[in-house]
Amino acid sequence: MPTEHPTAPARATLASIDRFCRAVFMAAGANEATCDGATRAMMHGTRLGIDSHGVRLLPHYVKGLIEGRINRQPKVALSSAFGAVGVLDADNGHGGLATYVAMDHAIEFAARHGVGAVAIRNSSHFGPAGAYALNAARRGFIGFAFCNSDSFVRLHDGAMRFHGTNPIACAVPVVNDNPWLFDMATSAVPYNRVQLYRSLGRSLPAGTASDSRGYDTTDPELADMLAPLGGEFGFKGAGLAGIAEILSAVLTGMKLSFDIAPMPGPDFSTPRGLGAFVLAMKPEAFLERRRFDAAMTHYLETLRNSPARDGLNVMAPGDREWKVAEDREKNGVELDPETARSFAVLAARYGLKPPFSP
């Protein structure tokens, strides 16, 4: 059983980490669009404190680019479009690039038709789903993002890996404030959280992971699968995972979770054929913008000022993340030891300066 122990993580500024990631991707042979999309997605996670889906993924992506899992020079484009609906072929490129491009198209459709939906084919791991929903909200639209992934989550009362962590994200613009931002895995925790806790030597929260027989464990070294969101009511999490599965795999014609090659390998030479789905909605298509803005402001003011239990406070989705982002913009980020070590290795390989002092 792992025990909590002090660590000495490396500290770096967000700007220096961003520059380093772009330089590494470029050195690994990725085109400029891939460097930008992959870095933006990871930096969303790191900036907002979603470290399990932040820059700790850099060495994983580099391995995929070098060994052939991820196309370093993809031609990402719509393969079909009709009215407010499009299908985007990611050409086995990086999932971050593909999903940002897909959301751009969804926003264009929504600007004309009120809603826009894009199904993504032939993609790869896209990181934090909230990055793409937020891309829509920053431009005045309501955004949704979904994807499935390789099986790692048991069903409610199940004893085998079935769904992926299958995230669902939604972001809503708020006038004169940060967007309302909700980003969740439909598992109790994301798989990358298990990896992060292994790196930190921390125990997992109870009821979040299972051993190979489907029984709960708090030891990340013994975690063979994740539990669905909901604990004793895990059928709800399993059902939500099914929504993401249908939109991301069934509707796109891509692989179901239990047919996707495992993210950790060992095969890093074969594209994984992932699907994803994004949706954008234009509030003005439904009511006057001033009424929408006033209602969102009233909703959030009432929510944040509602009574809380002793010693606690009520937060809207995204509030914690915005506080973390403000702190990290000012004070930088503490990279966990494993990520710091991997950055040092990549820096040495490509003749780059790491974003922190050795």
Nearest to 143 by CA among 135, 155, 151: 135
Q: What is the pTM of this model?
A: 0.92
| pLDDT of 8 | 58
Tokens of 264: 């950790």
User: At 219, is the secondary structure helix, strand, or coil?
Assistant: coil
Cα 42 to Cα 18, 206, 328: the distances in Å are: 9, 28, 14
The predicted pLDDT at position 200 comes to: 86
Give the separation between CA 51 and CA 334, rounded to whole angstroms.
10
Q: Give per-residue burial for 237-263: e unless 16+ CB within 10 Å, then b.
A: bbebbbebbebbbeebebbbbeebbeb
CA angle 353, 354, 357 (to 5 degrees): 105
Identify the pLDDT of residue 120. 98
Contacts of 127 (CB under 8 A, 6+ apart): 38, 41, 42, 44, 45, 53, 57, 95, 96
Instruction: State how beta strands 85-89 and 115-123 pair.
Output: parallel
DSSP state of 79: E
Binned average pLDDT, 10 residues per bin, the chain of 358 residues: 50 97 98 98 97 95 98 98 97 98 98 98 97 98 97 93 96 98 92 82 92 91 93 92 98 97 96 98 98 98 96 95 98 93 96 86
Region at 44 (left for phi over 0; alpha for psi -120 to 50; beta for the rest): alpha
pLDDT of residue 358: 56
Task: Check residue 1 and give its pLDDT.
Answer: 43
Q: What domains does the chain contain, in order, with CATH numbers?
A: 7-67+337-358 (1.10.1530.10), 74-187+230-292 (3.30.1370.60), 191-227 (3.30.60.50)
